[in-house]
Chain A
Amino acid sequence: MKTHRHRIAIIDDDPFVTKHLTQHFSDRLPQTEVVGIGNPIAPVGFDVYIVDREFGEDSCGQELVQRVKKVAPNSLIIAYSAFLDRAFLRDLVLEDCEGAFDKGSLEELEKMTLLIEDFLATGSVSAKARKSNQGTIHLILNLVREWNTRLSRNGQATVKYHSNVQS
C-alpha cells in the first residue's frame, strides 16, 4: 500500500533560511519532503506551510497566511519571523495561524519542529502540543486574545483594526 509522504513548504525569500530549514527538517523528519519557495505564493499540496513575514520591502506575511488558508484549509500554517510584534501576532490569531515562532532562537526552532512532528503524526495540533510547544509566543497570543476580547467589549471591535491593517 502506498503511504502518504508528508510535504512541508518553507515560503521565505532568504535562501539561507530555506536552505537551513530544508536541511534541518530533512534530518529531523526524514520521511518528509521539504520544499523551499522564495516567492510569496501559496502553492497547493503541502501538509505544513512555514511562512515568512517579510518579502523584500513588503510585509505581506499576513496576506500570505490568508491565501494559504484558502488553498489548504486543513494544513498546519506557521509564521516564522525574525521579529514578532504584538500587531502581527494579533493578525495571526485572527487568521487562525497555529503558531508563530522567532527565527532568531534555536529553542523556538525546536518547539516548531515538535509542533510539526505532532501535527504530522496525528493530523491535528493536540492540546498538549499547543500547550508545550508554543512557549512564550503562545502566551503572548493568549494575552492578545484577552486584549481583543476586552476591546470588543468596549466597542472597539478587532475587525475594525483588522481592516485597517488590510488597507
Chain B
Amino acid sequence: MSSRSQVSGLLVEDVKAMRIYLRAMLEDENIRITEASGLGEARKFLRASPDSPPDFVVLDLELPDGNGLDLMPDLSVATRVVALTADVTREVELQCLNAGCDLVIEKNAELASLRERVWHSIAARTEPGVRDQESCFSYVTFLAEVLVELRSAQAQDDLLQIRQIAHRLRGTAIHFGYPGIGSAAKSVNVALRAGQMDRLATAAETLCARISDALEAHHLKTRRQSITEISSCEF
C-alpha cells in the first residue's frame, strides 16, 4: 500500500470561502493542497512543476477567466479530475466525462462525500495499482454485460431480473466512480417496490442511458490516454 503522504491536490475555485472550506475538508498531514483562484493561476502552477503533476484536481466549472474544462489539456492523464458545479444535469455530467473528468460533484448536495470520493478516484493510481486498475476495467466490462442483460429483461418484462440488476448496481456503482448509475438504480428499485410500472419503465430507461454514458465516457477516456501515450513516444 502506498503512503498517503505522497498525495498532492490542486483546488481551482474562485470563491475564497469555498477554497478554505474545501482545503479544510481535504487537507491533512497526508495530503498537500495548492490553491488557484482561476485558470491563469492553475496553469501557472502546473507549468512551474511539469515533472510533478498533482494527483488530483478539484475543478470548479464556473471560473471568472473561463470554463474549468478549458484546463483539461494542461493536465496530465495521471491526474484525477473532480469537477465541481452548482447544478449537475445529465448534459453537464456527460460533457465533463467526455472532457476526461473522473467525477462530477454537485457543490450544494454532495460536498460531504468529496474527500472519500477523491480517495476512491485516485486509488487506481496510488494504491496497489494493478489490482485497482483491473477492478475498474472489470467493472466496466461488467457494466457492458449488464446493459445487455437489462435491455433483454426490459424486452421480456422480467421484473425479477431488472430488480436484481438494479440492486447490484445500487450497491456497487458509486464505489467504482459511477454515482449517476447508483442513483438511477435506486429509482428502479423504488419504482419496483412501489409497484409503479409506468415510473419503472422511465427509471429503467434512465438506468440504461446512464450505463451507456459511462461506457461511452470510459471509451473516450481510454482513447484520450492512448493518444497521449502515443504522442509522447519518441520515434
Contact = CB atoms under 8 A, between A and B. Distances in A.
B19 to A, nearest CB: 22
A83 B170 contact: yes
A83 B189 contact: yes
A105 B171 CA distance: 8
Nearest to B167: A82
Interface stretch (A11-19, A33-41, A125-133, A142-150): A11-19
Place the interface of chain B in its size category.
20 to 34
Contacts of A73: none
B139 interface: yes
A72 B117 CA distance: 33
Contacts of B100: none
B131 A83 contact: no
Contacts, number: 69
A55 to B, nearest CB: 11
Interface string B176-198: 10000011011001000100000
Interface string B148-190: 0000000000001000100110111111100000110110010
B167 A57 contact: no
B233 interface: no
Interface string A117-142: 00000000000000000000000000
A107 B171 contact: no
Interface residues of A, number: 22
A41 B39 CA distance: 54
Given A16-B139, A19-B135, A23-B132, A106 B113 contact: yes
A57 B127 CA distance: 34
Given A20-B175, A20-B176, A107 B112 contact: yes
Interface in A64-97: 81-83, 85
Contacts of B185: 82, 104
Given A16-B172, A17-B175, A104-B170, 14 more contacts: A14-B168, A16-B175, A23-B132, A27-B1, A27-B123, A30-B1, A54-B167, A82-B167, A83-B167, A83-B189, A104-B174, A104-B186, A107-B112, A107-B116
Interface of A: 14, 16-17, 19-20, 23, 26-27, 30, 54, 57, 81-83, 85, 103-107, 109-110
